[in-house]
Amino acid sequence: MKVAVIGCGALGSYYGAMLARACHETRFLLRSDYDIVRRHGVRILSPNGDFQVRPHCARAPEEIGSADLVLIGLKTTANDQFPKLLPPVVGPRTAVLTLQNGLGNEEALARLFPAEQILGGLCYVCLNRTEPGVIHHTAHGEILIGEFQREAGPRTQEIASVFRCAGVKCTVSDNLERAHWEKLVWNVPFNGLGVAAAAGIEAMLDPQSPVTCVQPVMTTDQLLADPRWTDLVREMMLEIIAAANAKGLDIDPALAQANIDRTLKLGAYRASTLVDFERGQPLEWESLFLEPLRQAQAAGVAAPRLARLGEVLKALDPGSRSR
């Protein structure tokens, strides 16, 4: 299988490297890391065993050409680049699989390509890019994939099999929308509140409180060590579940406590939005926080905690401040 990886940060590089190790023709579209990856390849440091691969490297999508499978690992803040980056690698039979966070990514792809070519993937994995071409994998690694606006067909089952043969646990869902909302139950509080902690608990509890950076961000274990932040985590999870259920997606409220219990075992994990904030990069607040809020309110769920989180993150967002 010829695989094009568009967006070679931690996520794209890890799954692209797994496929490359399984002898698929894997081509990475690279910018700042191009020279290093071309010379030294991609190194994965993992409790499952370290390994190194040498993928084909390209500076422009035209150098890759039409692929069988396109993996999109871009930050959602770069979705405006879809029209430039994707048409050269997407042919009439290409499967386009976005591994991005949040809501609205498949819809953005459907404005460019036929809906039947579009798949979504949810990654349950703990990763960080520690230096160019080096990815530190600390836990998990599963992918759940499904098709945009329809049940999964044979092609999706085949792609799942490809991942499994490459050593990636992969399951298939017939309801991609429900799967997205289930993941938001974890993503929204732990990505969002970890950054919002920089403004202090008062900024989250009092809508009239000014939003400025007054303290460090908080890792998942720090959020769950403070009862006030833990209460916010739980309340926000229940708002997400209420919104999903108002949309008819039938998510068990017990998922909130299950996520908290699972996260306690991760230790001091730095969620991706926290890492972006520390690096001064724009936050994925549109797809991860604002679009879920829009959909919650459209479904008749007020979600005041989520609404306040969006306000705080917009004020803190390095991208917003630079603009």
128: confidence class by pLDDT, cuts 50, 70, 90: confident
* Residue showing tokens 């759940």: 144
320: confidence class by pLDDT, cuts 50, 70, 90: low
pLDDT in tens, 131-189: 999 999 998 899 999 999 999 999 999 999 999 999 999 999 999 999 999 999 999 99
Quote the pLDDT of residue 285: 87
Active site residues: 183
Quote the pLDDT of residue 321: 52
Rounded Cα–Cα distance for residues 100 and 38 (Å): 25
Tell me if the pTM is above 0.85.
yes
Rounded Cα–Cα distance for residues 3 and 53 (Å): 14
| Residue 95 confidence (pLDDT) above 60 | yes
313 phi, psi to nearest 5 deg: -65, -35
Quote the pLDDT of residue 323: 39
* Residue showing tokens 């879920």: 292
Query: Where are the strands (E) in 62-192, listed by range?
Result: 67-72, 90-98, 118-131, 134-147, 170-172
Say how many CA atoms lie within 13 Å of 84 toward its Cβ. 7
Quick one: 2-174 is in which CATH superfamily?
A: NAD(P)-binding Rossmann-like Domain (3.40.50.720)
* Burial of 272 per CB tally in 10 Å (0-12, 13-18, 19+): buried
All residues at 6 or more sequence positions from 284 whose CB lies less than 8 Å from its CB, including other chains:
75, 76, 77, 101, 102, 191, 272, 273, 276
If one looks up domain 179-322 in CATH, what number appears?
A: 1.10.1040.10
Quote the pLDDT of residue 139: 87
pLDDT in tens, 269-315: 888 899 899 989 999 989 999 999 999 999 999 999 999 999 999 99
One-letter amino acid for residue 316 of the chain: L
Quote the pLDDT of residue 318: 87
Rounded Cα–Cα distance for residues 103 and 121 (Å): 12
| Residue 28 near residue 16, CB atoms below 8 Å | yes
pLDDT in tens, 189-221: 999 999 999 999 999 999 999 899 889 999 999
73: confidence class by pLDDT, cuts 50, 70, 90: very high
| Residue 99 confidence (pLDDT) above 60 | yes
Mean pLDDT of 29-40: 95
* Helix 227-246, helix 176-196: angle, nearest 10: 150
Quote the pLDDT of residue 266: 85
Q: What is the mean pLDDT of the chain?
A: 95
Domain boundaries of the chain, sorted by first residue: 2-174, 179-322
Closest CA to 79 of 238, 282, 261: 282
Task: Give the number of other Cβ atoms within 10 Å of residue 54's Cβ.
Answer: 14
| Residue 28 confidence (pLDDT) above 50 | yes
322: confidence class by pLDDT, cuts 50, 70, 90: very low
One-letter amino acid for residue 242 of the chain: A
Task: Give the number of other Cβ atoms within 10 Å of residue 31's Cβ.
Answer: 7
